[in-house]
């Protein structure tokens, strides 16, 4: 990040400045573009409208040149009008109730209230669902449109329709009307109070209401331990043993740096860290620093070198163990896979096993999140980061919320502002609001090399100027995908079963990207399916396996623990002395980096 460039921009804008060489003049022009784009991004929630316009242009031009598709969508429109007319006709002879002509998708919970089955609300609901179906027909299946542009147009048409859903309007929502009559309008008063409170917190940069009741080190991230190593990027936490004997191989957890580490150490009842410690493991966890503009030049390889590798060196010095179980969650799993590939290439055999939770290594099909990653979008984000030095996770909040706008945006608006109900804060919700920043260089490299170019799978990703290959990894792998993951879709995660030339156990668990991983024993409604493959076995296709796999009810944690035990050695006496080998304990867990804002 060049501060002098902004001064040159000022000169280019009309202030007196000396003549510049051609190269520096070109840099000034580029700096003007960067500032302009960064300002523009402030009004678009960090989303590139140019990328969207290109998609709509592609769709519209091909539609205009396809009379057959035009006739098809016209016929579909007539059919849907006929279906709605038939529904209204049947309602007229059934006292306002009739069997619906179309039902909401299983994940659509907007119309669950019984009032939507009565006239006229059922008519409004049916009209909306038929319109939604027609737009899906119109935006998909058009020959000539690129696959990505088709998905973009379909995705954004769905977002637009979600904004005009009848459930969002008080006069059209029978649940809101019923609540208003029963509460004499008090729901709107409560909703207005909720809205004002949220706006004030947003203006002051405060977390959502109730998040203050989940403080790291007290209510969450409370598993006892101490920071034994610190550098400019990480704090390494060693958790105190809770058993008399422990496995000789310690566990290193590498969380994602896009959020705070304690997703795996929430409340004591659902802490994966505590579960491991109570099961007889010595557990270490990386707590990433929340970087500021001074860390703008930190690279993706710095995260590997100063993060994963530095932590493994510290663990070896502390415990004397030559083998470590590596556990990576989300982006941390991707980074751990890169580190493991480099270690395998260089003959470093310290990894006893590799566990990857909701972590992608192949980004060819990254799901709907990939809709926000193209050259236009990345360039816009890079220009924002050039100005600020980092990318604040809140800059991407708009994109993440759009992935599940029904649940994260519109349903919340109806519940909290129209019905006047404030959803109780949970530890997971409070963690999700504890956002972080990402260094500009690292984020640019990550998006370009992995998401955009898929260099890791295609053999172009280099560590220390030499390419790494996932198939070099020989450590056994345990991978977890979650059924409703919008960040790392399970079919994309499943691809690692084809890429690792080693023994692999793959688990598909119910839940989403976060809730599916935080799935402690006793959690209601949890289930999972499991695939075990030896390195020479033929791997099935994802859909065929998922269709035929046996469903086990309950948490997947015990299955993973059993797998971890099989790949561990003997037990040794737990070290309760607090000694840290050649390292000196710095402070108590959860450390200081997790508290940085």
Contact of 380 with 37, CB cutoff 8 Å: yes
Exposure string (b/e) for 312-331, b if CB count within 10 Å is 16 or more? Answer: bebbbebbebebbbbbbbbb
How far apart CA 439 and CA 501 sit, in angstroms, is: 33
Structure tokens at 548: 């035929």
The per-residue pLDDT for range 250-289, each reduced to its tens digit, is: 999 999 998 899 999 999 999 999 999 999 999 999 999 9
Q: How confident is the model at residue 509 (pLDDT cuts 50, 70, 90)?
A: very high
- Phi and psi at residue 450, to the nearest 5°: -100, -60
How confident is the model over 288-299, as a mean pLDDT? 93
pLDDT at 372: 80
CA 109 to each of CA 76, 233, 407, 486: distance values in angstroms, whole numbers, following the listed order: 25, 42, 9, 18
Q: Which CATH architecture has domain 225-364+469-595?
A: 3-Layer(aba) Sandwich (3.40)
How far apart CA 34 and CA 381 sit, in angstroms, is: 10
- Phi and psi at residue 504, to the nearest 5°: -135, 135
The per-residue pLDDT for range 537-585, each reduced to its tens digit, is: 899 999 999 999 999 999 999 999 999 999 999 999 988 776 566 688 8
Q: How far is CA 435 from the centre of its chain?
A: 12
Angle, vertex CA 434, rays to CA 429 and CA 436, nearest 5:
140
Structure tokens at 72: 């098809």
Domain definitions of the chain by residue range: 3-41, 49-182, 225-364+469-595
Contact of 57 with 144, CB cutoff 8 Å: no
Find the farthest-apart pair of alpha carbons in the chain and give their distance in angstroms, rounded.
84
How far apart CA 393 and CA 131 sit, in angstroms, is: 34
Half-sphere exposure of 205 (CA within 13 A, CB side): 4
Q: How confident is the model at residue 3 (pLDDT cuts 50, 70, 90)?
A: very low
The percent of residues in the chain predicted with pLDDT above 90, rounded, is 74
How confident is the model over 108-117, as a mean pLDDT? 92
pLDDT at 398: 59
How far apart CA 223 and CA 277 sit, in angstroms, is: 9
How confident is the model over 226-238, as a mean pLDDT? 96
Exposure string (b/e) for 562-590, b if CB count within 10 Å is 16 or more? Answer: ebbeebbeeeeebbeeeebeebeebeebb
Mean pLDDT across the chain:
90
Q: Is the pLDDT of residue 130 over 80?
A: yes
Q: How confident is the model at residue 15 (pLDDT cuts 50, 70, 90)?
A: very low
Q: Is the pLDDT of residue 365 over 90?
A: no
Q: Is the pLDDT of residue 9 over 50?
A: no
**In terms of Cα–Cα distance, which of 419, 424, 527 is closest to 110?**
419
How far apart CA 88 and CA 111 sit, in angstroms, is: 18
Question: Between residues 381 and 530, which one has the greater pLDDT?
Answer: 530
pLDDT at 400: 62
pLDDT at 2: 41
**In terms of Cα–Cα distance, which of 404, 400, 406 is closest to 112?**
406
**In terms of Cα–Cα distance, which of 349, 350, 342, 343 is closest to 319?**
350
How far apart CA 72 and CA 78 sit, in angstroms, is: 10
- Please identify every residue annotated as catalytic: 330
pLDDT at 26: 63
Q: Is the pLDDT of residue 20 over 50?
A: no
pLDDT at 423: 85
How confident is the model over 323-349, as a mean pLDDT? 97
Q: Is the pLDDT of residue 512 over 60?
A: yes
Question: Between residues 37 and 405, which one has the greater pLDDT?
Answer: 37
Q: How confident is the model at residue 137 (pLDDT cuts 50, 70, 90)?
A: very high
Q: Is the pLDDT of residue 315 over 70?
A: yes
How confident is the model over 149-159, as a mean pLDDT? 92
The percent of residues in the chain predicted with pLDDT above 70, rounded, is 92
């Amino acid at each position: 990040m060049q501060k002098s460039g902004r001064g040159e921009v000022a000169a280019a804008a009309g202030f007196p400045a000396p003549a510049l060489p051609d190269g520096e003049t070109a840099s000034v022009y580029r700096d003007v573009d960067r500032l302009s784009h960064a300002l523009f991004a402030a009004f678009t929630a960090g989303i590139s409208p140019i990328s969207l316009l290109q998609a709509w242009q592609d769709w519209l031009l091909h539609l205009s040149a396809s009379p057959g598709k035009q006739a098809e969508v016209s016929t579909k429109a007539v059919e849907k009008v006929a279906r709605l007319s038939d529904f209204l006709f049947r309602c007229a002879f059934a006292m306002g109730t009739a069997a619906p002509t179309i039902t909401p998708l299983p994940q659509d919970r907007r119309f669950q209230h019984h009032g939507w089955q009565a006239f006229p609300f059922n008519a409004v609901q049916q009209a909306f669902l038929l319109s939604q179906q027609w737009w899906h027909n119109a935006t998909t299946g058009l020959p000539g449109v690129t696959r990505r542009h088709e998905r973009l147009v379909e995705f954004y048409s769905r977002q637009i329709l979600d904004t005009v859903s009848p459930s969002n309007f008080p006069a059209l929502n029978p649940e809101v009307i019923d609540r208003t009559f029963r509460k004499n309008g008090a729901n709107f008063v409560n909703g207005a109070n909720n809205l004002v409170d949220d706006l004030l917190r947003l203006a002051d940069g405060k977390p959502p209401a109730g998040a203050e009741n989940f403080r790291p080190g007290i209510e969450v991230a409370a598993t006892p331990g101490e920071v034994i190593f610190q550098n400019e990027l990480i704090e390494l936490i060693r958790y105190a043993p809770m058993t008399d004997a422990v496995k000789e191989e310690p566990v290193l957890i590498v969380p994602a740096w896009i959020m705070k580490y304690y997703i795996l150490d929430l409340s004591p009842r659902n802490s994966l860290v505590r579960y491991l410690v109570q099961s007889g493991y010595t557990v270490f966890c990386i707590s990433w620093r929340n970087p500021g503009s001074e860390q703008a030049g930190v690279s993706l390889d710095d995260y590997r070198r100063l993060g994963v590798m530095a932590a493994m060196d510290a663990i070896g010095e502390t415990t004397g163990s030559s083998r470590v179980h590596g556990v990576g969650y989300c982006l941390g799993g991707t980074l751990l896979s890169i580190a493991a590939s480099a270690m395998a290439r260089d003959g470093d055999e310290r990894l006893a096993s590799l566990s990857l939770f909701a972590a992608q290594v192949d980004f060819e099909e990254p799901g709907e999140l990939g809709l926000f990653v193209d050259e236009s979008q990345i360039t816009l984000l890079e220009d924002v980061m050039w100005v600020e030095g980092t990318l604040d996770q809140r800059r991407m909040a708009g994109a993440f919320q759009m992935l599940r706008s029904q649940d994260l945006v519109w349903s919340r608006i109806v519940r909290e502002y129209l019905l006047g109900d404030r959803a109780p804060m949970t530890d997971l919700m409070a963690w999700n609001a504890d956002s972080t920043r990402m260094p500009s260089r690292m984020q640019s490299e990550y998006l370009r090399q992995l998401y955009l170019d898929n260099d890791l799978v295609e053999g172009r990703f280099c560590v220390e100027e030499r390419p790494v290959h996932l198939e070099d990894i020989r450590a056994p792998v345990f991978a977890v995908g979650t059924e409703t993951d919008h960040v790392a879709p399970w079919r994309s995660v499943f691809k690692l079963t084809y890429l690792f030339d080693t023994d692999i156990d793959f688990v598909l668990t119910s839940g989403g990207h976060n809730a599916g991983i935080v799935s402690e024993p006793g959690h209601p409604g949890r289930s999972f399916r499991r695939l075990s493959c030896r390195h020479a076995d033929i791997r099935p296709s994802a859909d065929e396996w998922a269709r035929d796999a046996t469903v086990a009810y309950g948490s997947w944690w015990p299955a993973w623990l059993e797998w971890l035990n099989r790949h561990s050695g003997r037990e040794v006496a737990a070290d309760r002395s607090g000694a840290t080998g050649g390292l000196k304990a710095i402070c108590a867990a959860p450390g200081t980096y997790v508290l940085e804002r």
